[in-house]
Structure 1
């Protein structure tokens, strides 16, 4: 009996010891979990400061060159191509014949009109001779003259229609593409040539709302082509869109005179420089500080380890930096990465 009591006491003591150890470990784990939870409550972000930076105040924007004039010449009448008079790359003048097309219908109509005209002239000659001897009246002679005039006009119309079968250049330029060969049968609408004029080109660029006020029609703009290092071209503002696109950018069209060698090609990437190249100290923040996009004008600032959403007024764009007109002071710390995970008042941890 005594042995049984001792055994029970030993077992109870062992169980009590085990429970003590388990409770101690539980408290320790809960304490560690609380520390980790407290640490993880801070959202990891990257940050920068609002600062006065020396920037180039010249506004720079990019676009692609396009020809001032370009046209695809198509057949206006059905027929077979007899001759092709130009090749791709050839320079052509306005009105120059590029291809000769034998149009069966036009040829038949032209032959008929010629025959009618010659017949009307012969009839008039006979009436005039008969009138001298009193064989016909003056009215009949006048009618014969009218028929000659009508036949002459019909012949001219037929000649014009026949000439439409041939393809001529509508302006001076270069043959960019030729789609026919001698012997090709064409129908109305068949594409035959593509003509472009690159002596003058257009450059379409977008100017944001912060800079559009300094752009005027007729303004001279320096233009460069990315692949033509060291060469600058003179551009002139020809058109400013009266309405901005969805991104609050205004399309602006520049006209650029090519050089004598026509080094500028349609499709090249071009850069336009608005304003003079001057340096100025401007209060700026990194472009990445804005929540969503620059147009939101919202930035998270950091104060005592927590963020608050600040409304600002942004100004000009200087590449990776945006001018701040109001809403922020120099030295203010702003979030530049991780905004998607933030809400107003959250704690943050700045990482490098």
Structure 2
């Protein structure tokens, strides 16, 4: 019993100690808070306003051109394959040759196909004679209507088999469906191919496409058919002219939209795989409302600035637009001639008194 009372006493003593410690900590914190408030008030007396530098939102006539880098791709790129199986008898083109649409590039041995055509022709003639005999017998009642219909079906089947055999026999020639340059030849005379085997890669670079990515703030100014100046680093003394042929309706990662510019290339001077630069709106000037980039608190994408109102720094959310080096377009949130703070923002909160310095 005595041990139980001693345990209860120890618990109460422990609780009392803990409460005393907590009260002591709270007392110290309150004293520190009061001291900090007093120090802050004293500083506020001696430094009533934060020193800042400002600039003015203004409409400026700026060059609205922008550039985007990309890689040239061919106008057309086609893999030509064999439509029937067999041994390659001859190949009439080599890599680098120019070919026209419909041109024969290689021949597959056609003996087997010719035999199939002959067999199908013989089967058709036999089916035709049988059909004629059944038609004569039907006239005298020698066969039923069902037997005659079955023989007509055999004749139609034999006719279709002949047509199919002739089509296959005609496929012994490997032909290209597009004009262009033989970029790769994958067969040699004597090799065997199966139906679908890729034999040639044909690339058409009579015109090429420069595929670039344009951010959301600039893509809204582009239109299909718009002329574009294109430069190539490996041909520094020449500028090419193309037109926009495609603007993606959906952005890829980072809100960038694929855009294709087609450039005529009659001399094959430009090659697929080269790097190029598209100059959109080159030389175009436009009145744009801008503020200095330094006015933004954090990054431009945060869209936060401080404006001067009645001697105070007022936080303002804006909608930023295009970038023009040291200046950023303002679409919404600030009007022309408003003053924005460009230095000293680290010490500012909303409605902080400020002192403008030069």
User: Taking structure 2 as the reference length, what is the TM-score of the superposition?
Assistant: 0.61
Alpha-carbon spacing, 1:299–1:96, altered in 2? closer, same or farther (3 Å): farther
Give secondary structure in 2 for the equivalent of 1:231: strand
> Is contact 2:85-2:193 (8 Å) kept?
yes
Alpha-carbon spacing, 1:203–1:191, altered in 2? closer, same or farther (3 Å): same
Counterpart-to-counterpart distance in 2, 1:81 and 1:50: 77
1:111 corresponds to which residue?
115
1:99 corresponds to which residue?
106
| Aligned residue among 271, 276, 294 for 1:270 | 276
Number of equivalenced pairs = 276
- What do the CA deviations read for 1:232-282 (whole angstroms, capped 9, x no partner)? 323222222222233222222222221x31111111112222224145686
- The unaligned stretches of length 5 or more in structure 1 are 1-46, 302-306, 346-352
| Aligned residue among 185, 209, 231 for 2:192 | 185
Give secondary structure in 1 for the equivalent of 2:73: strand
1:316 aligns with 2:315: no
Counterpart-to-counterpart distance in 2, 1:276 and 1:237: 14
1:207 aligns with 2:226: no
2:232 corresponds to which residue?
225
Alpha-carbon spacing, 1:168–1:290, altered in 2? closer, same or farther (3 Å): farther
> Is contact 1:49-1:334 (8 Å) kept?
no
- The unaligned stretches of length 5 or more in structure 2 are 1-52, 138-147, 308-312, 350-358
| Aligned residue among 64, 77, 80 for 1:73 | 80
> Is contact 1:309-1:344 (8 Å) kept?
no
Alpha-carbon spacing, 1:300–1:331, altered in 2? closer, same or farther (3 Å): closer
- What do the CA deviations read for 1:271-297 (whole angstroms, capped 9, x no partner)? 2222241456863545997746x5443
Give secondary structure in 1 for the equivalent of 2:89: strand
Give secondary structure in 2 for the equivalent of 1:111: helix
Deviation at 1:169, TM superposition (A): 0.5
2:4 corresponds to which residue?
none
1:15 corresponds to which residue?
none
1:4 corresponds to which residue?
none
Alpha-carbon spacing, 1:153–1:176, altered in 2? closer, same or farther (3 Å): same
CA RMSD for the aligned pairs? 4.3
> Is contact 1:50-1:334 (8 Å) kept?
no
Counterpart-to-counterpart distance in 1, 2:78 and 2:302: 43
> Is contact 2:305-2:341 (8 Å) kept?
no
Counterpart-to-counterpart distance in 1, 2:97 and 2:242: 27
